[in-house]
Structure 1
Amino acid sequence: MLVSASALFWGLQFAFLSPALALLLVTVFGASAGEVGWALAIYNAGGFVASLLVPAYADRARNYAGPMMACGGLTLALAGALAATTSLPLAVVALVVLGGPAGVGSSLLFAHLKHTGAAPGDVVRTRALVSFAWVAGPPLATFLIGGFGPRSILAAIAVVAVLNIATTAALRAPAVQASDSPAEEGRVPRGRVAVVVVVFIALQATNSATVSVMSLFVTDRLGLDVAWAGIALGVAAGLEIPALLLVGKLTGRVSGRLLLLTGCVAGIAYYAAMAFARGPVLLLGLQVLNAWFFATVAGVGLTLFQEIIPRPGLAAGLYANTRRLGAVVAGPLIALGSVTRLGYGTVFAACAAITVVALAGLRGGVSQYREEPSLPAGRISR
């Protein structure tokens, strides 16, 4: 119950902040569109660095709950700093110095689970709760902002930060990880780890690009009202939760590699069909494939990183950064929507091609590892 509550609160913390951040920068700090872009870029760059440094410290200390509590404290400080100033430069400094490290808390939760001997299925089910928070969080944030003003979201984030600190304090327990030797790192060739990282950056990029252009695709390519884009994304997000729960149930019975392969096949089918889709029925029906694709990337992907990288913090941090880097790579993909006759359907077609290449890389990068559930946590066989 503590792990479930912690996952829900960490998910809510950023489900509140991320959708509202651009609005806060404009309404509270008077940022222009260009300044919003720079502020978010600097903030995300700070988060990228923090998600490498903080988990590395946690790995060295063999302690993940302590840094998680610190992340909760930094979130509380961030909410206070943003509430106390109207200066855009000070707000950006607070986002980088406080918000960057605070954002690592969710990754540290999964590192803590790995360090304390949680089974892969438990990790995937915990990830489903984070997804649930992202389904509920943005509407709640919108309700608060509409009813009480933009700064009200800062109070909500502060409350969630206090709950994060409390649940993390209760989570503290002695680690039961069976293997703590640094020599474990030599068991997995770095080249193969690099292949898996690149593959997941590509997979995350396809998801980020298609989500970003969904509104334009629906209005420009399908000729539908923009509301259908929100409905389609909502259906996909809603289906993602049972898909993750199913992945968690199958983990241990079916190899993670096979689940990932089925997810990539579903992703290829989804992107290829969307490139030529017509009408709202097909738009919504295809979200089943989309949900399964992202559930395998989010659920099995996280456990795969924990399997091939013996240091739990580094594994969780690297996986989280595939999402950030994927969003960067998505930029050129989105630009394809304006240079071909297929319009924004080209973005989906390109994503299908990229997923095919990623599937080939996944087969090569993961096939060398034989899944052996009987091995102690952290041990990898070649």
Structure 2
Amino acid sequence: MLIGASALFWGFQFAFLNPALALLLATTFDASAGEIGWALAIYNTGGFAASLVIPAYADRLHDYVRPMLVCGLLTFALAGVLAVTTSLPLAVLGLVLLGGPAGVGSSLLFAHLKHTGAGPGDVVRTRALVSFAWVAGPPLAALLIGGFGPRAVLAAIAVVALFNIGTTALMRHAAVVAEGDRAAEVAPVRRGQVAVVVVVFIALQATNSATVSVMSLYVTGRLGLDVVWAGIALGVAAGLEIPALLLIGRLTGRVPGRVLLVSGCVAGIVYYVAMAFAGGVVWLLGLQLLNAWFFATVAGVGLTLFQQIIPRPGLAAGLYTNTRRLGAIAAGPLIGLGSATRLGYGAVFAASAVVTVVALAGLRAGVAEAGMRNEDSS
């Protein structure tokens, strides 16, 4: 229950902030569109660096709870800085120095799980709680902003930070899993294989980022539907991701991880190909079931794979987190295809299918199998 509560609070923390950040910068700090772009770029760069440096430091300490506690305190400080200042440079400085490190808390939670002996199924089920927070968080943030103004979301973040601090402090006194109960470790994996896994997951994350980014344009431009259907489709996919992760958690240990991951990639390929030529609301919504299974396997099985092939829990969680950030950057060329072919934004889905096929080939060539060979024998 303590780990589950902590996962929810860490999920809510930035499910409140990240979707509302651009609006907050525009309305509270009078930032222009260009300034918002630069601010977000600098903030994400700081987050990228922090998600590698802080977990690596925690690995050396063999302690993930104390750095997690610091992340909670930094979140509270960030909410305070953004609430009291009206200076855009000071706000950006706060986002980099406080927000970047604060965002590592969720990664440290999963590193703590691995360090204390949690099995892959436990990790996946905990990841489902983070997904639930990301489904509920943005609508709650929108309600707060609509009812009380943009700064109201900062008060919510401060409250969540206090809960994070409380649950993390309790973890320091919670019993850990005994050495004999720990999840089985895998044989060391060569750095070259780890690098290939990282590249494969950057590619998979890029396809998701690109297709989510163009969904509104695809729905209005190619399908000729109202833009509201884009939001409904993405909401359906996000909602289905939670039961998909819970199902993966139940299947983990019974079904080899590589099989689950391959099934997700196949679902993703079918989804992207079908979306490239789909027409109508029924297709749009019905196909989100495949989309949800695809991303649930990338998010759930992918995280456990990184933890299995990289012996340092903090580094494993940090690298996996950054595949999402790098995937968003790599999505740029895929999005550019939307105006370069006769398929329009359907070409983004078609290209994503090709990228997923290539990624699946990398997995099938032995990369995932090497990382999960011990899972199959357990």
Q: What range is the shorter-chain TM-score in?
A: over 0.9
Query: Per the alignment, in what secondary structure is the counterpart of residue 214 of structure 2?
Result: helix
Conserved? CA contact 1:115–1:177, under 8 Å: no
**Secondary structure of the equivalent of 1:187?**
coil
Q: 1:371, CA displacement in angstroms? A: 3.1
2:16 partner amino acid: F
**What is the CA–CA distance in structure 2 between the aligned matches of 1:254 and 1:185, rounded to whole Å?**
17
Match of 1:199 in 2: 200
Correspondence for 2:370 among 368, 374, 377: 368
Q: SS of the residue aligned with 2:253?
A: coil
What amino acid is aligned across from residue 3 of structure 1 in structure 2?
A: I
Contact 2:308-2:372 at 8 Å conserved across structures: no
Report the equivalent of 1:145: 145
Once the two structures are TM-superposed, the CA of residue 367 in structure 1 deviates from its matched residue by 2.4
State how 1:5-44 maps to structure 2 within 5 Å. 5-44=5-44
Relative to structure 1, is the Cα distance of residues 96 and 369 closer, same or farther in structure 2, using a 3 angstrom cutoff?
closer
Deviation at 1:186, TM superposition (A): 8.7
Secondary structure of the corresponding residue to residue 322 of structure 2: helix
Report deviation, 1:331.
Answer: 1.2
2:95 match:
95
* SS of corresponding position for 1:372: helix
Deviation string 1:46-78 (CA, Å, 9 cap, x unpaired) is: 000000000001000000010000000000000
* CA contact 1:185–1:309 (8 Å) conserved in 2: no
**2:131 — aligned with what?**
131
The alpha-carbon deviation at position 368 of structure 1 amounts to: 2.7
Alpha-carbon distance change, 374 to 286 in structure 1, aligned in 2, over 3 angstroms: closer
Query: Counterparts in 2 of 1:231-250, with a 5 A limit?
Result: 231-250=232-251
Aligned-partner SS, 2:20: helix
The Cα offsets for residues 227-247 of structure 1, whole Å up to 9 and x where unpaired, read as: 000010010001000000000
Q: How has the CA–CA distance of structure 1 residues 185 and 71 changed in structure 2, closer, same or farther, with 3 Å as cutoff?
A: farther
Work out whether residues 257 and 372 of structure 2, in 8 Å CA contact, stay in contact via their aligned partners in 1.
no
The corresponding residue for 1:75 is: 75
C-alpha distance in structure 2 between counterparts of 1:185 and 1:121, whole Å? 16
* Matched letter for residue 192 of structure 1: Q
**Kindly tell me: are residues 16 and 41 of structure 1, through their superposed partners in 2, closer, same or farther at Cα, counting changes over 3 Å?**
same
Structure 2 residue runs of 5 or longer lacking an equivalent are: none
Q: Structure 1 vs Structure 2: percent identity of aligned residues?
A: 77
Q: Return the alpha-carbon distance in structure 2 between the equivalents of residues 209 and 25 of structure 1.
A: 24
Structure 1 distance, partners of 2:107, 2:348, is 30
TM-score where L is the length of structure 2: 0.96
**TM-aligned CA deviation for residue 374 of structure 1:** 9.4
Q: 1:369 to 1:98 in 2, by over 3 A?
A: closer
CA distance in structure 2 between the partners assigned to 1:178 and 1:202 by the alignment: 36
Maintained 8 Å contact 1:48/1:324: yes
Structure 1 residue 171: deviation in Å? 1.4
Per-residue deviation, 1:375: 8.7
Residue equivalent to 2:219: 218
TM-score (norm 1): 0.95
The answer to whether the 8 A contact 1:255-1:371 is kept is: no
Within 2, Cα distance between the matches of 1:271 and 1:281? 16
Q: Structure 1 residues 37, 323: closer, same or farther in 2, change over 3 A?
A: same
> Could you give the per-residue CA deviations for residues 4-49 of structure 1, whole angstroms, max 9, x where no partner exists?
1000000000100010000000000010001100100000000000
Q: Deviations over 1:331-370 (max 9, x none)?
A: 1111110111100000000000000000011122122345
Are 1:293 and 2:294 counterparts?
A: yes
What residue is the counterpart of 2:161 in the other structure?
Answer: 161
Partner SS state of residue 359, structure 1: helix
2:262 alignment partner in structure 1: 261
Deviation of 1:372 after TM superposition, in Å, equals: 2.8
Deviation per CA, 1:122-174, whole angstroms, max 9, x where unpaired?
A: 10000000000011000000000000000000000000000000001111246
1:258-310: CA deviations, max 9, x gaps? 10000000000000000000000000000000000000000000000000001
Whole-angstrom distance in 2 between the partners of 1:39 and 1:287: 33
Query: How far, CA to CA, are the matches of 1:283 and 1:304 in structure 2?
Result: 31
Q: Distance between the aligned counterparts of 1:234 and 1:83, measured in 2?
A: 30
What is the one-letter code of the residue matched to 1:200?
F
Q: Which residue type is aligned with residue 208 of structure 2?
A: N
Q: Which runs of 5+ in 1 are unaligned?
A: 377-382
Amino acid at match of 1:107: S
